[in-house]
């Protein structure tokens, strides 16, 4: 990653604290700790039963009874709270932390929560339609923070932010540079 966002110079104006953003991060961390306690087979089982499986969601595939705990449409929400490893979780939550507070400030806590969940659902559906025949589960919050980043760049393109350039050099750059450098890479990353 060329630019890693660390902090922006965009103070909150309407809310005094980003409760929804912090709550979403806390839920993701708690779910990941729980998920990690399940062992290797448990990780596979939870990914299969709570991840978005395109063939299951849009096709005729069916899960074995022991894995079919949730209706396929529910996985469009549950997949957002599962992650493959600590780096997957940390990357998604870092972007949510840096960009989420100001989008929450602009939208209000409840509308931000709805927006976050809807962008995650849309990302899950887009993945499913782009991979119609896939039986592999999609897990991770990447789609929802990507929606938050999109809202941020629309609202605050010129705000300066501290970023690590080439993972070593701290620089203060306009948000559109940092996000612009992230966008081509994000399309090649799996959630």
98, 110, 138, 112: which is closest to 9 by C-alpha?
A: 98
Task: List the CATH number of the domain containing 122.
Answer: 1.20.1540
Give the pLDDT confidence score for residue 63 in this predicted structure: 65
Ranking 13-17, 78-82, 91-95, 158-162 by mean pLDDT, the lowest is 158-162
Q: What is the pLDDT of residues 35-92, one digit of tens each?
A: 999 988 888 888 888 999 998 888 776 766 666 678 889 999 999 999 988 989 998 9
Q: What pTM was estimated for this model as a whole? A: 0.86
Residue 157 lies in a domain: yes
Residue 102 belongs to domain spanning: 3-186
Query: Sorting pLDDT into bands at 50, 70 and 90, what band is 96?
Result: very high
Residue 25 lies in a domain: yes
**Given its phi and psi angles, is residue 40 left (phi above 0), alpha (psi -120 to 50 degrees) or beta?**
alpha
Query: Sorting pLDDT into bands at 50, 70 and 90, what band is 93?
Result: very high
Residue 36 lies in a domain: yes
Q: Averaged over 150-173, what is the pLDDT?
A: 84
Residue 86 lies in a domain: yes
Please indicate whether residue 85 or residue 180 has the higher confidence score (pLDDT).
Answer: 85
Query: Sorting pLDDT into bands at 50, 70 and 90, what band is 162?
Result: confident
Total domain count, the chain:
1
pLDDT over threshold 70, residue 191: no
Residue 28 lies in a domain: yes
Residue 49 lies in a domain: yes
Ranking 22-31, 129-138, 168-177 by mean pLDDT, the lowest is 168-177
Residue 191 lies in a domain: no
Give the pLDDT confidence score for residue 111 in this predicted structure: 98
Contact criterion met (CB below 8 Å) for 180 and 5: no
């Amino acid at each position: 990653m060329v630019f890693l966002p660390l902090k922006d110079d965009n103070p909150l104006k309407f809310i005094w604290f980003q409760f929804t953003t912090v709550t979403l991060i806390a839920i993701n961390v708690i779910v990941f700790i729980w998920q990690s306690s399940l062992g290797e087979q448990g990780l596979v089982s939870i990914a299969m039963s709570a991840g978005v499986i395109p063939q299951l969601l849009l096709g005729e595939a069916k899960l074995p009874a022991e894995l079919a705990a949730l209706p396929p449409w529910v996985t469009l929400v549950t997949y957002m709270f599962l992650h493959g490893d600590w780096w997957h979780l940390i990357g998604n939550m870092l972007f949510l932390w840096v960009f989420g507070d100001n989008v929450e400030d602009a939208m209000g806590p409840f509308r931000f929560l709805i927006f976050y969940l809807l962008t995650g659902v849309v990302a899950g559906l887009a993945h499913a339609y782009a991979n119609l025949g896939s039986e592999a589960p999609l897990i991770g919050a990447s789609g929802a923070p990507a929606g938050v980043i999109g809202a941020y760049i629309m609202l605050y393109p010129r705000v300066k932010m501290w970023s690590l350039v080439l993972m070593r050099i701290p620089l203060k750059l306009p948000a559109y540079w940092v996000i612009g450098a992230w966008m081509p890479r994000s399309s090649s990353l799996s959630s």
